[in-house]
Chain A
């Protein structure tokens, strides 16, 4: 028979598990569980989010029966348990609590829906429920053979990813190459990198794969959702069976709203990425003790990431973080050797002749820039854009250096590790998507040009 730890796919919560208990006076009770967590070969832990009948029952009569199901095969297991203790702190509690917080923050219920305790149960016995499924039909239930995969192919993939990270010449190339390699070599076809903006404390999507251009610039607060939680806790977070758990969270949200607690609920945060995502994995990008951002991958297949994937994604994550650090170090060096020289040749910048006019509005209260009435960018990249557009209009300046941006105190760049390069990448990509006739084009390291194919009109407003 399988060992308890071999029931990993059942523990992922893709098919909700069930628990049956009985009160001391013999009244049975059944309920669904949001999480059954494997602790060790003799113990599992169940999440307690509300003091309910199950909890009352096991305090009177410690026996419980849990039904687990394998989401792929529907193989069904009966676990006979005895309640041992409720943990309200420690590693087990933290791990289970993080998962609950992720679901809570995705459904706008942070603080309402939380883990009260990690209830540890001794596994007295476990066995498959015999006869739950009828034998498969040899024709109708025939399955395709599983694809050939294994450590060797994945190790080879890892090697290719690593090579491409090492070869990258700049930050944009590093991120694009890494995500492409993760897709082509390892099959992670929906991925994104978010970098931490230390000015705002938010994570900003700087590169993505599999979502088109639209996700660039999407923000997540640290602590919010799968991605924000990975950043806050500096730990990998994997949420499988998302559909099921989000439905569970939304059921609770619905009940809170019905009971008049609407004002406690924050607006629901839409999950960035796939609308029908079944599993999402986010890992912090750590360089020494600094958290530079988060790598997030997701899939429609709830079982596509296993512990092996987690292991090699961690390796890739470390390499990306070190790569980002390397890029920033190079950027700093080149900066010192690139002195800014204002135009002295007396030439005017070439006026665009396309006849197209673009109207930019800058809102001073939140450093937000709109183009032709549509949101473009905000915060530091917004201020940078406004600065270079004005210098282009007023002084005909075409080329700009990173150094002059760093020396401008009004932009509010932090004195060290300012992520300037990533802010410029974000600005360049947002312009390419929303306003392709205004372009930021790298000239050489530490220097870029602002190219215009349109007349620009600049308007400043105090607030929207």
Chain B
């Protein structure tokens, strides 16, 4: 299992775009926008906040087979993709809501710098949300260009938690 370094965690938890990919039993893929992420358990777990309004299929897929891909992408296209299995889902609480609101403000600011009116970013449905926790299996560098999709380091062996 791979784990997220502290440096990478800082990037993943900043106000960058977070998208959650999944697929159903027929292998039809699905994508939903998440409102931020939190790196946990020393980098071995990741919680993403997906809005109830738009994540119905994603959640159904995750419950059906657990396979998730989370794509993090900054405005300059620096991107990472974290793949893993869902370990649990719960309704986001008030503490989560504060971090969702912080993420919203950061996202509106960043989108504003490339011409997206903050009012529009603030209108994206974000609450109530599910907090989806996944175990990190692999991390890929996804910045477009040669070598995109390469795994970061080798998966660590042994040492189960």
Binding site for B on A (CB under 8 A): 15, 18, 20-22, 24, 26-32, 34, 49-50, 52-53, 61, 63-65, 67, 71, 73-74, 80, 113, 129-134, 136, 140-141, 243-244, 247-248, 250-256, 259, 261, 278, 302
Contact = CB atoms under 8 A, between A and B. Distances in A.
A132 B149 contact: no
Contacts of A52: 148-149
B123 interface: yes
Given A31-B148, A50-B146, A256-B145, 10 more contacts: A28-B83, A30-B19, A30-B31, A32-B71, A63-B28, A71-B116, A132-B54, A251-B78, A252-B146, A302-B115
B41 interface: no
A239 to B, nearest CB: 16
A28 B21 contact: yes
Contacts of B20: 30
Contacts of B73: 32
- Most chain A CB neighbours (cut-off 10 Å) among B28, B51, B83: B28
Contact of A278 (B19, B27, B115): B115
15 contacts: A20-B22, A20-B31, A22-B27, A28-B69, A28-B83, A30-B69, A31-B79, A32-B73, A53-B149, A65-B31, A129-B54, A130-B53, A130-B54, A243-B115, A247-B77
Interface in B63-113: 65, 67-69, 71, 73, 75-79, 81, 83
B3 interface: no
Contact of A133 (B71, B78, B124): B124
B123 A65 contact: no
Given A29-B21, A132-B53, A74 B144 contact: no
B28 A131 contact: no
Contact of B120 (A29, A74, A129): A74
Contacts of B29: 20-22, 28-29, 63-65
Contacts of B158: none
B77 A32 contact: yes
Most chain B beta-carbon contacts within 10 A, residue among A31, A53, A250: A31
B23 interface: yes
B119 interface: yes
Contact of A26 (B54, B65, B119, B124): B65
A74 B123 CA distance: 9
Given A141-B123, A251-B78, A67 B31 contact: yes
Interface string B120-161: 100111000000000000000011111111000000000000
A134 B122 CA distance: 9
B31 A251 contact: no
Contacts of B123: 74, 133-134, 136, 141
B67 A255 contact: no
Contacts of A113: 145
Contacts of A130: 53-54
Interface in B26-52: 26-31, 33, 51
A28 B22 contact: yes
Contacts of B143: 251, 254-255
Nearest to B71: A30
Nearest to A24: B27
Nearest to B127: A134
